[in-house]
Amino acid sequence: SQRILDNYKAWYACQRASPLVCPNQALATELGILRTHRDLEGKDVNALSYDRAIAIIKAFPRELTPENIDKELVQLPHVGEKIQSKIREFIRSGVIEEAQYLRRDERFQSLKAFTTIHGVGASTARTLYSIGLRTLEDMERYYDVPVDDYGNPKLEEEEPIFTPNGRRVPRTAKLPDLSIKTALALRHELAVPIPRDEVEEMHAIVMAELDQLQPGCISTIVGGHRRGKPESNDVDIVIGHSDIQNGGELIKGLCKRLVHRLYERGLVTHVTHLSGFHAHNALRTTHWDSLEKALCVFVLPEDGQQKRLHRRLDLIFAAPEAYWTAVVGWTGSKMFERDLRLWAKKEKGMKFDSSGMTRRHDSQLYFPRSEKQVFDLLGLEWIDPTLRNV
């Protein structure tokens, strides 16, 4: 609604409409370089300031120009003097000099490349740099990743067995872990963005397998796909059960069973994280695992001659009372989620996360029946998933 669009100066990102591409996109991208730099160097407070300022730019409804900048900028929350001057520099000259410098800086380039590997955070990246590594090829040698005849990294995996009907079946019964070494070996494939139709194809195959184990399951594709991104870096699926009364019992343990089934089918090749149910706990203040989750590597069955790429797949199983909070919690973006939790806590005396919603003073657990109801219970105006691209 127009009211949401007019809300661009609101304090919390979850009150503002943030489209996928905003009128000041080039500015947001340039500020993003500075944000990434602060993040890579461990300056978390600084990085968060940039996150908040970029979030404001992403919701700003008009193009900023040399003519309107003075008037517009002073009215915006979360944009301190330092970042204001960076914004002015960009509006005046079309670039931010520091960002231009960083793009060519060896240390920045190295740290950024290292963190593209699943499981490598900023602090690991800094350690790798400090012991002399500079490129991903250095990192491959350091982690002893095997290479093929062309020098390209390859998977150190046992040859799969092919059954008479042509299905790939892994030889061992144990699910391999997605280690840094494996992530390096797969890095070229995992870096290829996933188009929307392939996301939907993966979803359909996963749900068909799940139906064989437990009929009646429901699901929502979440993450960037749900926010309208034309291409995603992984596939995120929230899974629940249509039986409100018994659904929790029916899907308990199902996450593990599904992943093992997908593994036996040759559809899942690696897993990074497999967790069971914990109850939503109103007393815990930090975000923690409270649903059944599996973060995996998935590969579609070969389609004629077409070789299919390894893809990251996140599966989140939620009991009926947590289904819609899980959908909201995993739709993102990360900044939208951060401010949702903050809004719930500071403004509503509630604890919100993917695993549920509770009133703080008496720990009463809510049971939202739709995504809209999650917003209603939090006292927030509805924001379409495609406008949560903070």
3-state helix, strand and coil shares in percent for the chain, rounded to the nearest 5: 45, 15, 40
Contact 302, 294 (CB under 8 A): no
Residue 153 or 223 having the CB closest to Mn ion: 223
User: Interface with Mn ion includes 314 (CB under 5 A)?
Assistant: yes
Residue nearest to Mn ion (CB): 223
Contact 312, 190 (CB under 8 A): yes
Half-sphere exposure at residue 140, Cβ-oriented, CA atoms within 13 angstroms: 19
Torsion sign (Cα): 202, 256, 337, 249:
positive
Residue 354 interacts, among ligand TTP, Mn ion, none and using kind-specific CB cut-offs from 5 to 8 Å, with ligand TTP
Residues 200-229 that bind Mn ion (CB under 5 A): 223-224
The residue range among 34-42, 259-267, 327-335, 369-377 that interacts with ligand TTP, by the rule CB under 6 A, is 327-335
Torsion sign (Cα): 150, 177, 252, 360:
negative
Taking every pair of Cα atoms in the chain, the longest distance, rounded to a whole number of angstroms, is 71
Residues 353-372 that bind ligand TTP (CB under 6 A): 354
Residues 333-352 that bind ligand TTP (CB under 6 A): 333-334, 337
Tell me the closest approach of the beta carbon of residue 262 to Mn ion, in angstroms: 16
Residues 222-281 that bind ligand TTP (CB under 6 A): 223-224, 229, 232-234, 236
User: Interface with ligand TTP includes 292 (CB under 6 A)?
Assistant: no
How large is the C-alpha radius of gyration of the chain? 23
Residue nearest to ligand TTP (CB): 332
Query: Of 240, 266, 320, 329, which one interacts with ligand TTP (CB under 6 A)?
Result: 329
Return the axis-axis angle of helices 25-40 and 81-93, rounded to nearest 10°: 130
Q: Which positions touch Mn ion (CB under 5 A)?
A: 223-224, 234, 236, 314
Q: Which positions touch ligand TTP (CB under 6 A)?
A: 223-224, 229, 232-234, 236, 329-330, 332-334, 337, 354
